[in-house]
Amino acid sequence: MKENIVTMKRIVILTGAGVSAESGIRTFRDSDGLWENYRVEDVATYDAWLRDPELVINFYNERYKQVKAAKPNAAHLALKKLEQKYIVDVVTQNVDDLHERAGSSRVLHLHGEITKARSSEYDDLIYPYPEEGLKIGDKCEKGYQLRPHIVWFGEAVPMLVKAANIVEKADIVIIIGTSMVVYPAASLIHYAKRDIPKYYIDPKASNVSGVSNLNIIADKAGTATPKLVDELLENA
Ligand code: OAD
């Protein structure tokens, strides 16, 4: 077993909203610039939180309910299978927990997690998201209001360095369901070694400037991911 781990290749999967689309969670940029009928700046920025915390909390309470009701799809489940023969790291921009529920063991969330709440003053005081939803008046143990454990626009991305270190070590990279327009997440692919195989599964996938060895798979995650996973398992 030890020997196996030494020889196993590393696959890094970079996922975005498109990997969860077939689980019924809407993507951000496929619906006329609105996200679940809201403008991003009204609900997903630190300014929005200061201006109208109740609106922001209600919005994320809805997202929480939606994620709880969703189930992992064929793409999430196929990615778990890769662990039979590879060391697999999933680096996701998604705040849902569908990779974890599909069984993936190493998942890094770049933009936070909807299943958690945290102190609005102490970033390291993190709690499970309340089942009945977050409320104004819910406080951390130091007495500060709880907020969704989400990285909003304009906030730092604390997991970025860790994610870049993971991508640097990859032998294969698979990008799934992201428009690759939100930075710094979109920059991660540039940390991958130039000569390794890379795949980009997304109905709207196209070449990414500066990225070599990129195989474009212009198809849905639920269809293309299981196929690619089977190929990679065969060739491991
Ligand atoms: P986007 O909404 O920008 O892009 C979703 C991508 O998924 C698009 O390229 C679609 O073509 C693709 N897609 C749609 N259906 C698909 C399917 N069935 N299979 C595969 N791909 C499909 O979402 P992200 O790139 O994830 O940030 O957006 C990045 C960030 O912007 C999010 O993490 C979020 C958002 O604002 C924060 O909340 C901080």
Model pLDDT for residues 62-96, shown as the tens digit of each residue: 999 999 999 999 999 999 999 999 999 999 999 99
Ligand 1 geometric centre to CA of 159 (Å): 19
Is 235 or 7 the better-scoring residue by pLDDT?
235
Least confident range of 37-46, 79-88, 169-178: 37-46
Contact residues for 221 (Cβ-Cβ < 8 A; gap 6+): 18, 19, 21, 22, 73, 74, 75, 176, 177, 201, 202
At 6, the pLDDT band (50, 70, 90 cuts) reads low
Count of helix runs (H) and strand runs (E) in the chain: 9, 9
> If we measure between CA atoms, which residue out of 202, 187, 3, 174 comes closest to residue 88?
174
Distance of CA 150 to the CA centre of its chain: 11
Which residue has the least CA distance to atom 36 on ligand 1?
28
Measured in whole angstroms, how far is the alpha carbon of residue 134 from the centre of its chain?
22
- pLDDT band for position 162 (cuts 50, 70, 90): very high
Q: Is the pLDDT of residue 165 over 90?
A: yes
Cα angle, residue 120 at apex, residues 117 and 124 outer, rounded to 5°:
65
Identify which of 41, 93, 113, 201 to mutate to test ligand 1's pocket (most ligand atoms within 8 A of the CB). 93
| Ligand 1: nearest atom to the Cα of 95 | 33
**What is the average pLDDT score of the chain?**
94
pLDDT digit string (tens) for 131-143?
999 999 999 999 9
Give me the half-sphere count of Cα atoms (radius 13 Å) on the Cβ side of residue 130: 15
Question: What pTM did the predictor assign?
Answer: 0.95
Both structure tokens of 152: 């909003």
Cβ pair 80, 94 in contact under 8 A:
no
Nearest CA to ligand 1 atom 31: 182
Probe target for ligand 1 pocket from 59, 182, 217, 227, with the most ligand atoms within 8 Å of CB: 182
Lowest mean pLDDT among 20-34, 66-80, 89-103, 221-235: 20-34
Q: DSSP letter for 12, please.
A: E
Banded model confidence at residue 171, pLDDT cuts 50, 70, 90: very high
Q: Is the pLDDT of residue 30 over 80?
A: no
Q: Side-chain half-sphere of 46: how many Cα atoms within 13 Å? A: 7
Q: How far is it, in rounded angstroms, from Cα 208 to Cα 212? A: 8
Q: Please state, for a pLDDT cut of 70, what percent of the chain lies above it.
A: 96
pLDDT value, residue 26: 86
Residues annotated as catalytic are 111
